[in-house]
Structure 1
Amino acid sequence: MENLFIYYLLRMMPTFLILTCLVDWKTKKIETLVDLVDKSTNEGFTGVYAYSLPDRCWGDNDKMYFHDCQKSYREIMRLDVNTKSISCITSDTEKGAYAVFDVFDGLLLGRYANPAQPMKIFIAELPSSSDGFKDIDFCEIATTTVSISDNIKWEVLPLKREDSSGYPYEALFVSPRVVESLPPLIVLPHGGPHTSSIADFFVWTTCLVGLGYSIVFVNYNGSIGYGQDFIKSLLGNVGTLDVNDVQFAAESLVKRGSVDASRVFALGGSHGGFLSVHLVSQFPDFYKATFVRNPVINIASMRNETDIIDWTHSVTGLPYDPKVTPTPDQYSKMLEMSPIVHAHKIKGAVTLAVGAEDHRCPPSQARELYTLLHAQGKDVNMFLYPKDCHPLMSVDTDADCYMHCVLLFNKYS
């Protein structure tokens, strides 16, 4: 017990700020091992964003291994707690989504995947202090009868809007490898907003691309993996900065001739649903239809129903004090940033998938949009899943959502 240390990740709100810290149990001194990174560079370390560490993460007495997102990828990171140096040790030639399951006896058990490659489990010898994984021994635990990589191609696109005060950002574009004509485009912004889309394997992506759709996942300003300034740039700017980032990514693909401009759709959940409804409202002639899951529709009305009241203040750039009721001006600002104020402009079809037990984005949010559009005679449908909550990830519900999404998009393709 002479040298007992505790290592932990410290998350500070309201923005996504994570520090890697050490506590000397004897002296009770707290020391920061990895500080915040305000700005990312083209190739440099962008900060720590991991929610947790593997149960066994020690390679030896002073080196810790864990996975974390760095821009549009998930990498394996090594932290030397003595020198406070942190580095990415995964291959520069095989980018994608790595994860650490376990570290023991000089070996690391992990996984690798990318949008065209289902998960592969691997065991690798821990590299020396100066090396990365030069020769990873991939040990697959399952095989497929069809090589998915023959049917899917993907790339990470660097983007920068000249008319924006935001930072350069990225989008992940996944599309069929062989097409007879330009494919339709599904625009899929992630939720959060302080999460990210990484180059990982997803069943929905594979199935939709298999049906001939291309998909763009946009890491708009506010996403994690690009530094703290990038995250904080969105606070007080939701509904404009993030919306225009996503729209610019979609228009860029149209301009370069990668997709069919007459068949563009929006798909998203939670804050991604918020963005999807904004997109089809603010750019009604650009989108044919949208499928949204448990979307945020009206931040002002959501404020007193959600289990994350502080979120409604954070994203709108307003101070939060649980002892104080928002002013009329503050409620007005929340409303002005919400897609409901633009919803009367929607021309395309809208389908809403809603979990009746969702306390994050309550069903009243989707119902508010459905009621408005139905009264206006718009093409709108809502499916309520009585036993599901925010993720809508029970097997039956996820499958049902997928089928309704495909039927909607196929109808207007």
Structure 2
Amino acid sequence: GARLHYVFNKDARGLSLSCHFQSFLPSCSNRFLSSYSLSGDLKAVVRVTSGQVVVWSDRCLKKILDLSALNKHGRVYEDAQFGCLAWSTCESRLLYVAEGKRSIGESYASASSPSAGEPRDKSVYWEDWGEGLTSKSVPVLCVADVAKGTVTVLQGVPSHVSPGQGLWAHDGESVFFVGWWHEPFRLGLRFCSNRRSALFCLDLEGNCECLSGDTSSVSSPRLSPDGRYLVYLEGQVFGPHSQCLSMQQYDLETRKISVLVDVVNRPKKDEFAGLYEALPPRCWASDSQRVVFSSARRNWRQTVQSFSLHSAEKFGSWKLLTIQNDLMVVHCSHLNEAPRLVIQYCGHSYIALGIEVTPIQRAGLCSFPGGPHSQFFAEWNVTTAVLVKLGFAVLMVNYRGSTGFGQDSILSLAGNIGSQDVKDVQRAVLTALADQTAEKLLTLDPDKVVVMGGSHGGFLACHLIGQFPDFYKACAVRNPVINAATLLGTSDIVDWRYSSVGLQYSYDQLPTPEALTTMLQKSPITYAPQIKAPVLLMLGGKDRRVSPYQGLELYRSLKSRGSPVRLLLFAEDAHSLARVDTQADCFLNVVLWFQQHLYLH
């Protein structure tokens, strides 16, 4: 279908805006990748479902490559973890990542590969990369030659790593990529910046070199416009699955690595608090001397340029989307202001007007814990906005262990889950209630407090209603962790089950009675007999991170005691319950559940 495209141009007179319709883009129902060439003259679109590469020039069709017919590889990767679509500097070739032919990766999945001529067993188990990446097993780097209409699977990638996040070197004769270790077996990658990986350079002849160290985690390689510098993010292996990262710079001329941004352990007030998220695909200024990126600072997300902060308290949370020719496009929003785009160049902003949500009289307080190592930003959240419109006050808690407050805060949660985080949330709720009493606002009813959360937030919500059974009047949780001991053998991030309770992990780890006891003692299932609040459970049948049997374990425990509980099972959804129909279903059921048990009808 046709889509409206906005084009910003910069000249001596300033910025100009033009818009036009483009009808060549695939429909929303067809997952795709798209990329403009460096000059902006060409646009490539990969239709993932149909396996086609469509190249356009000046809104005219130039080339169609049928990848399925060429049969060089499997489905193209469109995810943010591995996927890429990069034009070479000569604008004749495209680099992307796809699932390799199963014969390529046979040795990855079994100890002994079939010999030549021996039939392959279709029932052999193929590891994947876990939650959100269940169709990804053996990624390969591929080059499509637009002019010749050919596809080549690049050779030379080390057999012990899975490649992704590829980009071209300036000469167009080699590529850079991140390689993740898949030996001895794969652990879940999504939302995890703690997987062993390294930065590699591979030329088109099959010669491969590791550019970084090989004992850390690496991500987000970005090449400077002059082709001399590569910046990338680096973190530790194992431990918290999300962490404060450093930014490293590799000088392609001197072959030396230097630290541009170091890990921040304990940020001081109003100072840079560390780097916690992926770099934008385009983040270099045109002079190849500055990198622009967004990162969390306490409850805000800010855009950082030359390592000086742009104030977020005044304008809201800022997330850099891209920078081209020193023109930055920034996503900006606030808690009561819908998202808008900010176009900024050399410190001058051109801002579209936003809208405001005005809270109405509140009937109760909805506590909304997340985590464990993520955070709520002071930015627009549609769920929160609608809850406010319906009469709820919403408290989103960044407890100790959340990102944006330094690495020491993140590390403080290990071994203290079910205690430190629970106490932080409860203290925040009590403080919110006390503050409104002190200010004589009296809009919050302490007898109508409910709690909701997902994943570790669901873990916290269930702890709260168990540890404070008379305080919370209702609870709604999405894919909650209920029993860390029984989750141990079913989660795609088994390492976190050890790290979260303060234990070290290794691939050959076997559970001990002491470890299982510790996991059980820190789990909300131990408080199930004390739960009084009605509980709504929303589970994804294809969740690889937190098995739906976790929620079922609590469901059965509550049912056996006659405690009010309702379970919604979304058989085709996964951990994030991200399908549009699922999100709508969940939200409506949460609101009705709270209204029913707060007697708000």
TM-score, length of structure 1 as denominator length: 0.85
Paired amino acid for 1:202? N
Letter in 1 for 2:326: G
Structure 2 letter corresponding to 1:368? E
Q: Of 426, 441, 445, which residue of structure 2 is paired with 1:247?
A: 426
Deviations 1:274-319 (A, max 9, x none): 0000000000100001000000001111011000001111111111
- 5 Å matches for 1:7-406? 7-13=231-237, 14-15=239-240, 16-79=243-306, 86-90=307-311, 92-94=313-315, 96-127=316-347, 135-139=348-352, 147-149=355-357, 151=358, 176=359, 178-179=360-361, 183-191=363-371, 193-256=372-435, 257=437, 259-406=444-591
Bigger mean CA offset, 96-105 vs 353-362: 96-105
Distance change in 2, residues 1:371/1:340 (3 Å): same
Aligned to 1:131: none
Structure 1 residue 11: Cα displacement: 2.6
The structure, 1 or 2, with the larger RCO (C-alpha pairs under 8 Å, 6+ apart) is: 1
Q: Secondary structure at the match of 2:475?
A: strand
- State the match for 1:165 in structure 2: none
Q: Write the letter of the residue equivalent to 1:206.
A: A
Helix, strand or coil: the match of 2:329? strand
Distance 1:371 1:58, change over 3 A: same
Q: Could you tell me the percent identity over the aligned residues?
A: 35
Larger Rg: 2
Shift of 1:27: 3.5
Which residue identity does 2:259 align to in structure 1? T
Report the alpha carbon displacement of residue 90 of structure 1 after superposing the two structures with TM. Answer: 3.8
Q: 1:65 to 1:74 in 2, by over 3 A?
A: same
Shift of 1:25: 2.1
Q: 2:332 is matched by which residue type in structure 1?
A: Y
Residue 322 of structure 2 contacts residue 328 of structure 2 at CA under 8 Å; is this kept in 1?
Answer: yes
Query: What residue number does 2:194 align with?
Result: none
Partners of 1:383 and 1:404 in 2: CA distance: 9
Superposition RMSD in Å: 1.6
Give the counterpart letter for 2:433 in structure 1: V
Task: Tell me the secondary structure at the aligned position of residue 148 of structure 1.
Answer: coil
Superposed displacement of residue 139, structure 1: 2.8
Deviations 1:191-210 (A, max 9, x none): 2x110110111111111100
Instruction: Report the Cα offset of residue 54 of structure 1.
Output: 3.2
For residues 379 and 352 of structure 2, what CA distance do their matches in structure 1 show?
Answer: 18
2:300/2:313 contact within 8 Å kept: no
**Structure 2 CA distance for partners of 1:406 and 1:320, relative to 1, 3 Å:** same
Distance 1:317 1:334, change over 3 A: same
Q: How many angstroms does 1:92 deviate by? A: 4.8
Which digits, 9 at most, give the CA deviation of each residue in 1:113-148, with x for residues without a partner? 011111111211123xxxxxxx521135xx7xxx53
Aligned residues: 365
SS of the residue corresponding to residue 63 of structure 1 reads coil
SS in 2 for 1:93: helix
Instruction: Give a deviation string over 1:313-343, Cα, whole Å, max 9, x none.
Output: 1111111112120210011001100000111
Which aligned runs of 4 or more in structure 1 are off by greater than 6 angstroms? none
Cα displacement (A) at 1:91? 5.1
- Mark the runs of 5 or more structure 1 residues left unpaired by the alignment: 80-85, 128-134, 152-175
Name the structure with the higher helix share: 1
With 102-111 and 245-254 compared, the bigger mean Cα shift is at: 102-111
Give structure 2 stretches of 5+ with no counterpart.
1-169, 171-225, 438-442
Given the two structures, how large is their TM-score scaled by the length of structure 2?
Answer: 0.59
**Structure 1's 59 and 111: CA in aligned 2 closer, same or farther, altered over 3 A?**
farther
Counterparts of 2:261 and 2:283 in 1: how far apart (Å)? Answer: 19
